[in-house]
């Protein structure tokens, strides 16, 4: 739509396409010169043409249909063309709505002395004149077909500015208010009669068409309408084999962050050894100019940067010290994007549908700073709506990236992750959890009932534990680090980067309350989703218990839950509703301060002292 060309992500995509020398792309702009509320400013087509041409596109303006072109070829036709070209958009729209008599009056008023023009319009009745004056190329199949066939000879990206009438054929065609227009019953009857549709046959497939069989043959021969598989038009694509366990770098005993762990695990996969070879070949990473700062560097050094053209790494060739290998070629498996997060999610969505559209399955991985998920959320929303399958890594996150400044902090992303359909989100605190969740993501992305996966990671460095985990519990959303005793009066639950603060607070609490439990939450999203499923099942008469209900069952009915995460506390606040227990949810509900991690944790009350204060308050008798 021409009004949609106001949207900034259009031009972000155009610039990215120019950078990557994109070929074989067509955009058709429905240039009806009306926005949702009114009529668009005049002469915008010149701005559009200039913007597209600056990005390396071929611009084809389809303005007039065959009937008008024939009229222009007659004596007086050049004056008629000039008159229409000079009409303001608002005047053209108003005359279209008013009809043939208004067209005739306006033409004669402006060009009364043009006798050759009279020869064109006088023989026409009002209806025929109105049809001629609104014969725009966007509605003229012959013009469209000729233009498309000609453009197909070139691989250059092409935009077609196709002039149209908004609401063409309807009683309010051309009216500035027609976007919300509703036809009356009488108008609908007249419209149905015009289309040769009999009352009661409105839903017949080819009702009103002169040659139904010809249309049926065309549909059957169209590639997009041909059943490609028993399940429909989706192409078949084999599952990518995932090894029973992902390659494991040395983690136990080290001090490291989940962001670093992600980079090292992906680097090991990039070696493409043994059972990981095919999986490694099918991974495509992408990032909006933050590949190095989100720890994709080792993967890129192993698998290369994609470009349609081979380009040398000048620094490497000149033996200049650099940790990164940045030469490009068509075999590279990392796509580097500019700082435009909309493009990241558009590309993740497209790559995440490759199995259906191209018959070749990919494992797309996109990395982005956690706060800038907000900037690309529109495209993320629609990628999930289309059921695209990809792995999103958002890191660093929260206020834990303290030294980078307040503008890079985000508290709302855990809430976005919970409410987004067709996106399973997780936030591990330790790298052993991360390894389990990465393996799950590669499997889940490929399942018919699976979805895209989001991992929120951190730069918080923690000593890595040596322990045995139950993968099912980690994937289900939570596991007991220290199980509570039966009827324990309190439990502390943490998520992500604040694990260290929660563990210190728990050690202090346990000195006085040895029955207390410590719960690691890896996904409030999965916990909430399965709790809702269990509720629905019980309403239908089935016996069901969700994972979080089972986990909290040992606690006393009056037990208190103290939860903490580096994100908005509402992500955990609902946990008190599971068994009717008191919950104290800690987490930053504001952001913007810059400082070191201890100072910020203290300021936003997610440090050890704040957790202990919450425990003390939670254990007080209710007022």
Per residue in 169-191, pLDDT tens? 899 898 888 787 889 999 999 99
Identify whether the C-beta of residue 175 lies closer than 8 Å to the C-beta of residue 97.
yes
Q: By C-alpha distance, which of 298, 570, 310 is closest to 415?
A: 570
pLDDT of the residue at 227 = 60
Identify whether the C-beta of residue 388 lies closer than 8 Å to the C-beta of residue 366.
no
Say which residues have a Cβ less than 8 Å from residue 218's Cβ, sequence separation at least 6: none
pLDDT of the residue at 230 = 60
Identify whether the C-beta of residue 260 lies closer than 8 Å to the C-beta of residue 288.
no
pLDDT of the residue at 89 = 86
pLDDT of the residue at 322 = 76
SS3 assignment, position 210: coil
Q: By C-alpha distance, which of 135, 139, 134, 132 is closest to 162?
A: 139
- Token pair, residue 520, equals 């690691």
What secondary structure, in 3-state letters, does 463-475 show?
A: ECCCCCCCHHHHH
Radius of gyration of the chain (CA): 31
Identify whether the C-beta of residue 441 lies closer than 8 Å to the C-beta of residue 453.
yes
CA 74 – CA 117 distance, rounded (Å): 9
Q: Do domains 255-463 and 474-619 have the same CATH topology?
A: yes
pLDDT of the residue at 323 = 75
DSSP structural state of residue 121: H
pLDDT of the residue at 251 = 81
pLDDT of the residue at 138 = 96
- Token pair, residue 52, equals 């597209």
Domain 255-463, architecture per CATH: 3-Layer(aba) Sandwich (3.40)
Fold classification of 3-65+137-182 (topology level): Rossmann fold (3.40.50)
CA 282 – CA 279 distance, rounded (Å): 5
CA 13 – CA 10 distance, rounded (Å): 5
**Mean pLDDT value across the chain:** 93
- Token pair, residue 606, equals 């997610």
DSSP structural state of residue 195: T
Say which residues have a Cβ less than 8 Å from residue 593's Cβ, sequence separation at least 6: 399, 406, 600, 603, 604
Task: Please state whether beta strands 582-586 and 517-521 pair in parallel, antiparallel, or not at all (unpaired).
Answer: unpaired
CATH 3.40.50.920 fits 474-619, yes or no: yes
- Per-domain boundaries in the chain: 3-65+137-182, 66-133, 255-463, 474-619
Identify whether the C-beta of residue 29 lies closer than 8 Å to the C-beta of residue 67.
no
Q: By C-alpha distance, which of 486, 522, 493 is closest to 509?
A: 493
Q: Which ranges of the chain have pLDDT less than 70?
A: 40, 113, 224-232
pLDDT of the residue at 83 = 93
Taking the CA of residue 131 as centre, how many other CA atoms within 13 Å lie in the half-sphere pointing to its CB? 8
pLDDT of the residue at 220 = 81
């Amino acid at each position: 739509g021409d009004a949609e060309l106001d949207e900034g992500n259009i031009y972000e995509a155009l610039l990215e396409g120019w950078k990557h020398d994109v070929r074989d792309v067509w955009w058709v702009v429905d240039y009806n010169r009306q926005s949702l509320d009114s009529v668009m400013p005049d002469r915008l087509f010149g701005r559009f043409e200039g913007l597209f041409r600056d990005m390396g596109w071929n611009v084809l303006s389809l303005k007039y249909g065959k009937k008008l072109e024939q009229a222009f070829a007659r004596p007086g036709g050049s004056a008629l063309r000039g008159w229409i070209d000079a009409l303001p958009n608002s005047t053209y729209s108003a005359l279209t709505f008013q009809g043939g008599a208004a067209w005739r009056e306006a033409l004669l008023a402006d060009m009364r002395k043009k006798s050759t023009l009279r020869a064109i319009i006088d023989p026409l009745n009002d209806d025929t004149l109105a049809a001629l004056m609104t014969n725009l190329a966007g509605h003229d199949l012959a013009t469209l077909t000729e233009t498309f066939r000609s453009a197909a000879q070139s691989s250059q990206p092409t935009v077609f500015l196709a002039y149209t009438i908004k609401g063409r054929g309807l009683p309010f065609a051309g009216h500035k208010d027609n976007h919300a227009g509703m036809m009356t019953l009488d108008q609908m009857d007249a419209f149905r009669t015009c289309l040769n549709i009999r009352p009661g046959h409105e839903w017949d497939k080819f009702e009103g068409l002169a040659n139904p069989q010809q249309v049926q043959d065309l549909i059957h021969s169209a590639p997009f309408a041909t059943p490609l598989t028993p399940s429909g038009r989706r192409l078949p694509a084999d599952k990518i084999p995932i090894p029973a366990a992902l390659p494991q770098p040395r983690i136990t005993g080290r001090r490291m962050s989940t962001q670093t762990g992600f980079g090292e695990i992906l680097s090991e996969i990039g070696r493409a050894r043994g059972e990981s070879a095919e999986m490694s070949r099918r991974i495509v990473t992408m990032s909006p100019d933050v590949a190095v700062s989100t720890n994709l560097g080792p993967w890129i050094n192993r698998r290369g940067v994609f470009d349609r053209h081979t380009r040398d790494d000048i620094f490497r060739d000149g033996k200049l010290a650099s940790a990164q290998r940045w030469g490009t070629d068509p075999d590279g498996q990392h796509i580097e994007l500019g700082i435009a997060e909309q493009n990241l999610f558009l590309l993740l969505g497209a790559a995440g549908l490759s199995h259906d559209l191209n018959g070749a399955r990919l494992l797309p991985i996109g990395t982005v700073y956690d706060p800038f998920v907000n900037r690309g959320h529109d495209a993320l929303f629609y990628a999930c709506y289309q059921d695209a399958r990809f792995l999103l890594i958002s890191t660093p996150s929260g206020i834990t990236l303290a030294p980078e400044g307040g503008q890079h902090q985000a508290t709302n992303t855990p809430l976005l992750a919970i409410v987004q359909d067709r996106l399973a989100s997780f936030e591990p605190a330790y790298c052993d959890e991360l390894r389990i969740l990465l393996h799950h993501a590669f499997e889940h992305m490929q399942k018919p009932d699976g979805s895209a996966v989001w991992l929120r990671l951190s730069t918080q460095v923690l000593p890595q534990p040596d322990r045995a985990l139950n993968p099912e519990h980690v994937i289900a959303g939570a596991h007991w680090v220290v199980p509570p005793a039966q009827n324990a009066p309190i439990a502390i639950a943490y998520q992500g980067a604040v694990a260290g603060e929660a563990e210190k607070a728990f050690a202090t609490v346990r000195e006085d309350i040895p029955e207390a439990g410590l719960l690691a939450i890896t996904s409030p999203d999965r916990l909430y989703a399965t709790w809702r499923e269990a509720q629905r099942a019980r309403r239908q008469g089935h016996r069901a218990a969700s994972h979080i209900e089972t986990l909290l069952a040992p606690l006393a009915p009056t037990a208190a839950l103290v939860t903490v995460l580096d994100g908005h506390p509402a992500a955990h606040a609902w946990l008190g509703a599971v068994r009717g227990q008191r919950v104290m949810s800690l987490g930053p509900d504001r952001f913007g301060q810059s400082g070191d991690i201890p100072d910020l944790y203290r300021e936003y009350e997610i440090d050890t002292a704040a957790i202990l204060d919450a425990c003390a308050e939670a254990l007080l008798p209710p007022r």
